[in-house]
Every structure is written in structure tokens, then in C-alpha cells.
Chains A and B, each alone.
Chain A
Amino acid sequence: MEWLITPFAANGFMVQALIAGMLVSIACAIAGTFVILRGLAFIGDALGHGVLPGIAVAILVGFPGILGAAIGAVFMIGGISLITRKSRLSSDTAIGLLFVGMLSLGVMIVSRSNSFTGDLTSILFGEILGIGKGAVLIQLAATVVIAIIAFICSRPFLLLSFDPEQAQVAGFSFRLYHNVMLLMIAITVIVSFQTVGTLLVFGLLIAPAGAGALLSRRIGVMMAWAAGLGTLSTYLGLLISYHFNLAAGAAIILVAVIIFFIVFVIQNIRLRRIQIPGEVTHGHEKQ
């Protein structure tokens, strides 16, 4: 019991990290739910890495990293949006190249300066244990903004996930709400990079939401599961990192991914037993 509580009771920075991680988990739960439902995992990943040059340049010229991340994200969303509209190829190819290009650019900029080595690690893996009050407040604000966007746009987002054409016919512009959704994902990535790093945001974006998708039959419930599992991952990850002196960000993501696979296995076993009343409708079904 002591093993589970003392690290937080005795260390202010651990509590701060837990709060930050919880806020990130909630933001990632909301954004990640739509990333999963709309099959935007790759775009989410690209956004996560594409912000790197923005962060690097910002740090190089002495601006806050989060500002650079925002500029990087705007660039990425613009690029992805353009590619999705214009590309006759699979847009995955072009988005992949954009993301690799941005990542390389970021690493190149970072490699210019030796003093950057420590920063690079913190950009990629976050510095959740060194998170300041200011950053926690920014995260709180961002999480609230994300929740408000998701609440206001719940109908178009649901329709987009169900069938983009249906959304368009129902009067919800595909392009507008698709971009709002990308923006929401981008905000999540930007605020989360300080905590878990750009490399690992992606994991927190899809692992808890993925597990949530397996566990629920309603989108709201899926989000709640994702937020809960994300928070649990943060807590367990911090605990492991504290006791075994391991990198906190990576530990959190690893726990999240392990939880996903546990849920995955359990659900596969359970689903075999569930019976659906095919007999409710008369006659036999095709397929």
C-alpha cells in the first residue's frame, strides 16, 4: 500500500506529474476516440512528429516550445488537408513523406547545437517529472477547450465517423468539421508533448481510446473508458518509473499499450460467448 501511495504523498513533483498526466489523458481520450473512429491514426502520428521542427526552431530562437509546436501543427494540418484534397494517390503516401520530412528537418535543426541533446530527449519523451505549474494550467485550459469542441461538434463528429457522405447530406460540411477535428487533435498533440513527448503522444492518443472502443457500445462510454485507462496508465507508469528509476514518459505509454493488449485478449475471449438475437427478425439473413 505504501508502495502505491508514498511516492505521491512525499513528492510534490509526482503529484504535479499525476495531475498533468491525468489532464493529458482526458484530452487524449477525447481526441483519440475520434482518431480511432475515423481511422486517423496515421494523421495523428504525423501530427505528433511533424511539430518537431517548430519546437526546435522555437527553442533555438528562445520562444516557448509550445508556440513552435502550434506553428508546426498549423503547417502540418495545412499540408495534410491539401494532400487529402488534391492527392489522387493514396494520401497516406504523401502524408507519410510530409511527416518524415518534417521529422528530419526537426532533427537536423536540433543537431546544429550540442546544447540541444538534453532538449531533444525531452521533446521526444517529455519531461513529466519536471512539469511546472504554468504548464499544468496550460494543459488544463487546453483540455477544457478540447472538451468544448467535442461537445459542440458531437453531432457532426459522430456523423463523420459513421459516414462522411451522410454528414455532408445532413448539412454538416465535411471539410469544415474534418478540419475542426484535425485542429482538436493538433491541440491535444501540442499540449501533450511537454508531458509525454512528441514520440509518445501518439501512444496515449490511441492506446486508451483503442481499449475503450473494444469495451463500449457508445461513444461517450468509450471516451470515459479511454480517460480512465489513460489516467490509470499515467499513475502506474509514474509509480514504476519512481520505484525502478525508469523514464517516466516511456513507462506511461508502455503501461497504456500493455493495458490495450490485455483488454484486446479478454474481449476476444468474451465476444465468442455473446449471443445476438438473430431470431428477433423473421426469416434468415443473407450474409
Chain B
Amino acid sequence: MATKNNNVIAASDGTGQSAGESERTPLIQANRLSIGYGHEVVVPDINFQLAPQQAIALIGTNGSGKSTLLKTIVGLQPMLGGQLTIFGTRPGTNHRRIAYLGQFHASGFILPLRAVDVVRMGRFPLHGLCQRMTGEDNEIISLAMSTMGIEKLAEYPLRSLSGGQQQRTYLAQVLAHQADLLVLDEPTSGLDAGGRDLYLQAINDELGRGASVVIATHDIQEEAALCHQVMLLARRVVALGKPQDVLKADALLETFGIVVTGEKKHLHVIESRHGHD
């Protein structure tokens, strides 16, 4: 990791929690992992572990490989090389324990679904094809909705909700799963300030409950600072480590292209689309 000294102000005021290396077996273990589509490697040689009750943020521009890594972790994309184990087994075999929030929900617009129906889907992995939902499931579903502040929208059709309200609904779906591992792709996209606060609180609560979290994000200020580890991606691993060590100007410059200093000792990043080299 590059640690050149520089006169650009470093990331926020060190809110990142201690990495607290755990002796427990890691939930995610990647060794020399290559990810990509078909035969095209997007990011080679990824090495990291994620311990229980820890969060890792993947930071990078569009096309940097964040989403690909998330999809590989949840088993939607086959890995192209190296090793990756999730809960000690290969990806795509732990449906009951993993909740995934993808970036696009293309059909959300035509589906005749109420918000509560969408959140309810979060319980499906636990019940399989036919097992009935219980009162406990319904309580968990209501709780997830109120955590995201959408309990009053439960009966409204998804398609009538604003983009931000829909995103809250998708997040509530993930929370309703009560999974051991949350894999979130751009979870704050479209959220307003209120939604963002609820989301950050929810992630904290999930970590407290014992879950681990992988987040692909642009938000280096709050979201990444919440994480125990940060990985900067630009079609290669630029840096990996604790937020206060990684979120430095030169590493960010390499990841995003441009770094600008801002007020109040906060670092602001202007994203430039990363070239596919």
C-alpha cells in the first residue's frame, strides 16, 4: 500500500473501529482470487479475509470490479482463478446465510407488488419452496420496514414509490433475511439524508447482531469509515487495510483519478470514470 507523505488532508476523523483480528475462522477467505466475466479478468490477485462481525468496504469507480467481486462472493459469477471460500465452502452454496442487494431491479416498475411483498421475499431463502411463514416472520418483516422508516408504505405498490423509497424497501428486504453475511452493492444510491442515517444505523445493528457486511460504495466519508477494512479497487487492488490507513489521498487518486481537499478536514472525492485498461 502506498503511504507517501502528502499535503492533502487525510480521511475523516478516524471513526473506523479497530480491526480486532479475530481468531475465529474467517467468513470470507480469498487467496490469489481472480474475478471477471467469461475469460476477461477484471481484477486479478485479490487477497483478503473477513472475520465474523466485521465489515469491509469496496471502493472504486464504475467498472473497477466492485460489483464483480460482490457477484463472485454470492456465487452469481464463477471465479476465474485462485481460491475463495464463504463460510468455509465454495460460493453459491450458502443461500440461507447470505443476503444480497444488487444494483439494479429492472422490473420493479411493472411488478404488481406492495412494498411489504418485496420485504417479505427476504424471508424466502429461509423457508424454501413450501414451508409456511409464521407470525415471527411477519414481526421480523415489520421490524425491517420500520428500521428503514417505511412501515407506513407497506401497503403501497412498489411502482408508486420514489426511487429513494424503493431503495429503502430493498434494504428492508435484506434486513428481513437476518443473514450472517450481507453483501450490498451501492446500498445508499438514491437515498436521502434521512434514509442514509437509518441505513448506517441498521448496518451498525446488523454488525451488533453478529452479521458481517461487504459493501460496494462511493461513500468514503461515512459508510467506509464504518467498516473495519477498506479495499480500493481500480481493476486491481490498489490498497487494502483499515480505513484510516487506506483512505489517503494518493491511494484515492489512483482509484478515482481526482482528489480534492474540502472543508472541515473532510476529504472529498470527485469521481472520474475509470478507463478499462
Contact = CB atoms under 8 A, between A and B. Distances in A.
Interface in B46-101: 71, 74-76, 92, 95-96, 98-100
A272 interface: no
Nearest to B118: A162
Interface stretch (B154-162, B199-207, B269-277): B154-162
Interface stretch (A215-223, A227-235, A250-258): A215-223
Given A37-B107, A171-B96, A282-B194, A274 B160 contact: yes
A286 B114 contact: no
B135 interface: no
A284 to B, nearest CB: 6
B194 to A, nearest CB: 4
A92 interface: no
Interface in A238-287: 274, 276-278, 280-287
Interface size class of B (residues with CB under 8 A): 35 or more
A285 to B, nearest CB: 4
B152 A277 contact: yes
Given A169-B98, A277-B153, A218 B160 contact: no
A153 interface: yes
B164 A287 contact: yes
Nearest to B148: A281
A173 to B, nearest CB: 10
B165 interface: yes
A122 to B, nearest CB: 35
A166 B163 CA distance: 19
Given A218-B117, A221-B112, A276-B156, A283 B102 contact: no
Interface residues of A, number: 40
A169 B75 contact: yes
Interface string A137-156: 00000000000000011011
Given A163-B105, A276-B156, A169 B111 contact: no
A218 B112 contact: yes
Given A159-B121, A166-B102, A169-B99, 17 more contacts: A36-B110, A39-B107, A156-B129, A162-B107, A162-B108, A168-B92, A170-B124, A171-B125, A172-B129, A216-B112, A217-B157, A276-B161, A281-B192, A282-B194, A283-B192, A285-B162, A286-B192
Interface of A: 36-39, 152-153, 155-156, 158-159, 161-163, 165-166, 168-172, 212-213, 216-219, 221-222, 274, 276-278, 280-287
17 contacts: A152-B130, A159-B121, A162-B108, A162-B118, A166-B121, A168-B92, A169-B76, A169-B98, A169-B125, A217-B114, A219-B117, A276-B156, A281-B168, A283-B195, A285-B162, A285-B164, A287-B164
